[in-house]
Structure 1
Amino acid sequence: MPLPPPLAETHLSIGTRRQGKVRDTYRLSDGRMILVTTDRISAFDHVLRQAIPLKGQVLNGLAAYFFERTSDVAPNALLSVPDPNVTVAIACEPLPIEFVVRGYLAGHAARVYASGERVLCGERLPEGLRESERLPTPILTPATKAEEGHDEDISRHDIVARGLLDTDTLQHAADLALALFDRGTEMAAERGLLLVDTKYEFGRAPDGRLLVIDEIHTPDSSRYYYADGYEDRLASGEPQRQLSKEFVREWLMSNGFQGKDGQTLPDMTPEFVRDVTGRYIELYETVTGRPFEPDTSPTPEARIAAAVSQLA
């Protein structure tokens, strides 16, 4: 399939614009937020120079898919999806913490464990775990949100001690995160997948409700293993077949970049960019059981501008 030009950024004549790592957000005066999911991709807290065609449509579509199917577990800010790259949401005051839930020893947790550490964000990990092994029970490993640089691991105790959240808000958000992870695990199992780890972000709505405000269970926020062959690979020490953007992190590490001072961010080749697009589409179709039907407009920003002009 010929790929459309990537949507690297937008500059719409609506609301107050703010650019995040992946999304351009536009806050309207009536309390709504327009979230445009671009094709930017980040890893190790850096935005890569090359954007990934169709990635934004995959993420926006998956976020809507999961918001609709988890709203009975945790209320979310979704109002509508007027364009493949656009979500209209309730504008909320974000909590300053990312709620990361881990069901397996993978990614960052595996790297910490391999270094000899056995406590992660106040959660003690048992001895003798193998990489990719299922944890005795899912654990919450929160992280602070950094405007620049790296997010930092933090324990529940330190969240309260530093005044980032009060005890009740922390407990409420933690309960919602763990309940969402349970639902995500069930949904993944129906598709032959294992939900390995994921993050949730919450915000306070004008009416006081705590709402999910960012994508959930997408390849940017989550890691999946294929259930088929999982036990055999674990027993033999082979890498698991996974659906996530971990392969992008692995590519960066193989090219000498892990987000550390003094390292140079490498450029992705056109072939690798196309491979990344294919991986995102694969995840969408595997997770949802639906074919991915992209909008391949050669002028995606104009299409988006037309869609959001009806919202002002």
Structure 2
Amino acid sequence: MLESKFNFPGQTAFYKGKVRDVYTIDDKYMAMVVSDRISAFDVVLPRPIPYKGQVLNQVAAIMLEATKDIVPNWVKAVPLPNVTIGLKCETFPVEMVVRGNLTGHAWRTYKSGKRELCGVTMPEGLKENDFFPAPIITPTTKAHEGHDEDISREEIIAQGLVSKEDYEKLEKYTLALFERGKQLAAKRGLILVDTKYEFGKIGDTIYVIDEIHTPDSSRYFYAEGYEEKQQKGEAQKQLSKEFVREWLMENGFQGKDGQTVPEMTDAFVNSVSERYIELFENITGQKFVKEDVSVADAEKKVIDTLKSL
């Protein structure tokens, strides 16, 4: 599914994100359709990836169910493989990025000579992909368009984006969710390297929203061989959509002005789809079952589910 065009009874708003179509119903519920669109460097690529939406939605459902004892989550029902229905929350305008290893953006910052990221000091003497002494939280602003921006804890509170009391709760939930995510990953022979969480609020209750621990929102390493690769200075074997970013960079695209997305051939699109299915099976330990749902059937199933809530 590249995009959805539903019109639900009681629909009060519609938002089309990079990869999700979000419908607000009666200002109480949200129906999130996880499309097969794929983005990288904050750019939506021109071709969809078959079954990608199903992979992300189902991984998120499994992970939210496995962490609901830590913090309430927004999910009320998962009526279709690529659709989740849940509570409409007042969203906090920051994303809580948590890092266990010096990888990606953190490594690029470190390699440039800087030792501070989002107000957090990174210790000297680390190599790429080394573990931090303890996980660090490096939040970003939450941009509807363009790039999310790094921001510090102090700036978030000073600017009134999140109250000090709520932010302290977000930090607590973030670290607890990350620890659970690491435990779940370890059972699958994986290391949860970094991830991001989004939170919302209804009344005084904070909920974790959107997706968690998916290959789009997280980076995983294979635990087997990790130490040996670190000692030899070799690249770690990853389980994330980083391979898509790497392909784009190899073909001269990093989302910068004037750059053109390289041609996505059928072979490349199919290889990405297969990789996402591999990600699902490795992260969850479950066999992936391809499910095709017609638009008409999807709309009816969502309407029937909303009526039952």
Question: TM-score normalised to the size of structure 1?
Answer: 0.95
Report how far residue 267 of structure 1 moved: 3.0
Is the partner of 2:50 in helix, strand or coil?
A: coil
Contact 1:50 1:267 in 2 (8 A): no
Return the letter of the residue paired with 1:275.
Answer: S
Superposed CA offset, 1:232-280 (max 9, x none) = 1111111111110011111111111112222222232211111111111
Contact 2:115 2:121 in 1 (8 A): yes
Of 125, 139, 144, 1:142 maps to 139
Return the letter of the residue paired with 1:62.
Answer: V
Of 249, 255, 278, 1:282 maps to 278
Which whole-Å CA distance do the structure 1 matches of 2:280 and 2:181 have between them?
A: 14
The residue aligned with 1:122 is 119
Report how far residue 30 of structure 1 moved: 5.6
Contact 2:19 2:36 in 1 (8 A): yes
Report how far residue 38 of structure 1 moved: 0.5
Which whole-Å CA distance do the structure 1 matches of 2:105 and 2:91 have between them?
A: 24
**Residue 260 of structure 1 pairs with residue 260 of structure 2:** no
Return the letter of the residue paired with 2:251.
Answer: N
Return the letter of the residue paired with 1:203.
Answer: G
Is the partner of 1:10 in helix, strand or coil?
A: coil
Of 171, 174, 181, 2:168 maps to 171
Q: Which consecutive unaligned segments of at least 5 residues does structure 1 have?
A: 1-6
The residue aligned with 1:295 is 291
Return the letter of the residue paired with 2:219.
Answer: R
Which whole-Å CA distance do the structure 1 matches of 2:228 and 2:269 have between them?
A: 31
The residue aligned with 2:95 is 98
Which whole-Å CA distance do the structure 1 matches of 2:145 and 2:6 have between them?
A: 24
Query: How many pairs are equivalent?
Result: 303
Correspondences of 1:228-243 after superposition (within 5 Å): 228-243=224-239
Of 150, 154, 171, 2:151 maps to 154
Contact 2:17 2:144 in 1 (8 A): no
Contact 1:33 1:89 in 2 (8 A): yes
The residue aligned with 2:21 is 24
Contact 2:90 2:201 in 1 (8 A): yes
Which whole-Å CA distance do the structure 1 matches of 2:302 and 2:250 have between them?
A: 41
Of 59, 64, 69, 2:66 maps to 69
The residue aligned with 1:226 is 222
Q: Tell which deviates more after alignment, 234-243 or 96-105.
A: 234-243
Which whole-Å CA distance do the structure 1 matches of 2:157 and 2:240 have between them?
A: 32
Question: TM-score normalised to the size of structure 2?
Answer: 0.95
Return the letter of the residue paired with 1:244.
Answer: S
Which whole-Å CA distance do the structure 2 matches of 1:129 and 1:204 have between them?
A: 37
Of 189, 192, 211, 1:192 maps to 189
Report how far residue 302 of structure 1 moved: 2.6
**Residue 307 of structure 1 pairs with residue 297 of structure 2:** no
Contact 2:200 2:208 in 1 (8 A): yes
Which whole-Å CA distance do the structure 1 matches of 2:167 and 2:260 have between them?
A: 37
Report how far residue 304 of structure 1 moved: 1.5
Report how far residue 308 of structure 1 moved: 1.2
The residue aligned with 2:130 is 133
Is the partner of 1:58 in helix, strand or coil?
A: helix
Correspondences of 1:194-213 after superposition (within 5 Å): 194-205=191-202, 207-213=203-209
Extract structure 1 runs of 4+ deviating beyond 6 A.
Answer: none
Is the partner of 2:66 in helix, strand or coil?
A: helix
Which whole-Å CA distance do the structure 2 matches of 1:309 and 1:94 have between them?
A: 24
Superposed CA offset, 1:65-115 (max 9, x none) = 011110001110110100111101000011000000000011111111111
Superposed CA offset, 1:32-65 (max 9, x none) = 1101111011111111111110000001101100
Computed over aligned residues only, the root mean square deviation of the Cα atoms, in angstroms, reads 1.1
Q: What is the percentage of aligned positions where both structures have the same residue? A: 55
Of 3, 7, 26, 1:9 maps to 3
Which whole-Å CA distance do the structure 1 matches of 2:155 and 2:255 have between them?
A: 25
